[in-house]
Amino acid sequence: MRILILLLALFFVAPASAQKPFPCGTPAEKSLWLKNYQKNTAAFRLSTDTILYVPMTIHSVGTDEGTAHFSTTRILDAFCTLNEDMAASNIQFYIEGEINFINNTALNQHDTVIDGAFFMFQYNVANTLNTYFVTDPAGNCGYNLPYAGVMMNKSCSNPDDHTWAHEVGHALSLPHPFYGWEGGISWDNSVPPVYSEPAPERVLANYTSYKDSLITDTLIIDTIWVEKVDRSNCTFAADGFCDTPPDYIAQRWTCNSNSESPIQQTDPDGVKFQSDGTLIMSYSDDMCANRFSAEQTNAMRANLLDEKQNLLYNQIPKLPISNAPVLLEPADNQTVAFNQVRFAWKPATEATHYLLQVSRLPNFPVIEYQATFTDTAALVNVLQANRTYYWRVRPFNSHYTCSGFTQGVKFQTSATSSAGQLNSSAGFFVRPTLISRGQPVEIIFRNQSANAKMLVISDAAGRLISRQQIRTTQESYLADTKNLSQGIYFFVLENASGRFFQKVVVR
């Protein structure tokens, strides 16, 4: 498999650049599967009335120091756009597992698609479509490598960008509508097109890396038919789809008011035309691209149902989120102890995850703290004392990420500490406070006036570990710690007398 990727990538090496990213670094090829499909489309199953749900593993790549990651907010926004772009094709993606955060500077900014392929082999999750968000994918906005995955430039993955859908189209067999023109009239860019003159009947393409041969030092030049306006050769010219009109422009272009290219081209018969900018697989700008053609859709579906059946193992979707979570605490203008702020909210229907954000400003331009939780409560101990903050929550699940944030709620932090060595007036104390992994902790209750108690355990970053109700009239309770790994934890006891904290270290 690695040899295959090297062959695919060997003659398509896009250098990293500080300039505007090249639109797409996907090797210009038509796969053997697509050629066979287009020879006899009737032989392939489409199931057009059924939504196909496809698992995707999302990798957010940052530096070795953990900086420059694509934020969870932007991933959720981009994923929403991707599924909206694919909706008309009855193909929907879902996030398999949790978002994978990778700290790897060499992957975050790599020079060639070959480098990207090696890293994909290292991090890929089997039986999912793997997507990596990086700072610089070899100078491109994105690229797809067959049997490896999709690499995306974070700067080209905004909510109004369609590059992700473009690269997913490649992953599901689609070439560019201008297939064959990537090198101009010649395979090596030595003869550029002159659009005012009739195009040649064929253009030359470097086909070396797509032949079933391990001989990589032999140049193989092939010819690709140029598509005509009258569609007389549409079944075998260019991308082979008859409902994608001729397009000879292999660089980024901006649509005119008719969603067409401003560049007028001339087909081999001398007929003038302008490229259709609505096609996501073209190089038109994101403001214009918005669709896959019917034949492109059929090819993607056939590819999933035939070549990529391994991705269709779970066809039971999560439902969309129908309501927003209700923020409970801190309440509006509430003052809380700075070093153990408890956030709580009512669940949203069908939500499995919640993104919590805290900012110093009501419009959240800078995020002081954010984390994803599967529970509806969190303990945070990284905020500063005597500050005004705002907090909000965004619900999502594996299939639906389009819900927005709740309105922000304002609160203040006080300088009063809520943790540390407790005295006899505290609600409880624990022993021992330094334990080995798996060693139980005994909780000694100081105040028996309230029999119902809530025990909450969080880690040093404020992430909720467990939350359990304790109903006992005994003076002590053994807390199970077998799921706690090495680190610092806070045990929080809540009862009618208040909330009390104790630090426990697991060695």
Decide if pLDDT at 420 tops 70: no
Taking residues 37-51, report their average pLDDT: 96
Put simply, whether the predicted model's pTM sits higher than 0.85 gets the answer no
Edge-to-edge strands of the sheet including 353-359?
334-337, 409-414, 388-396, 353-359, 367-373
pLDDT band at 446 (very low <50, low <70, confident <90, very high): low
326-414 and 428-506 agree in CATH topology: yes
* Cβ(299)–Cβ(278) below 8 Å: no
Rounded to whole angstroms, the Cα distance separating 502 from 487 reads 14
| Cα–Cα distances in angstroms (integers) from residue 346 to residues 395, 400, 406, in the given order | 11, 19, 12
Minimum mean pLDDT range among 39-53, 181-195, 296-310: 181-195
Joined tokens for residue 304: 């999933």
Other CB atoms within 10 A of residue 373 CB? 17
| Cα–Cα distances in angstroms (integers) from residue 379 to residues 8, 329, 343, 369, 370, in the given order | 49, 11, 6, 12, 12
More confident residue, 162 or 8: 162
Other CB atoms within 10 A of residue 68 CB? 16
Q: Which CATH superfamily is domain 326-414 in?
A: Immunoglobulins (2.60.40.10)
Q: Where are the domains of the chain?
A: 2-171, 175-289, 326-414, 428-506
Decide if pLDDT at 255 tops 50: yes
Share of the chain above pLDDT 70, in %: 87
Rounded to whole angstroms, the Cα distance separating 209 from 29 reads 9
> Does the 428-506 domain belong in CATH 2.60.40.1930?
yes
Describe the crossing of helices 2-9 and 113-123 by its angle, rounded to 10 degrees.
160
Please compute, for residue 31, the number of CA atoms within 13 A of its CA located in the half-sphere on the CB side: 20
Joined tokens for residue 398: 């594996």
Joined tokens for residue 225: 């038919």
Q: Which CATH superfamily is domain 2-171 in?
A: Collagenase (Catalytic Domain) (3.40.390.10)
**459, β-bridge pairs:** 489
Tell me the DSSP string of 358-384.
Answer: EESSTT-SSEEEEEEESSSEEEE--PP
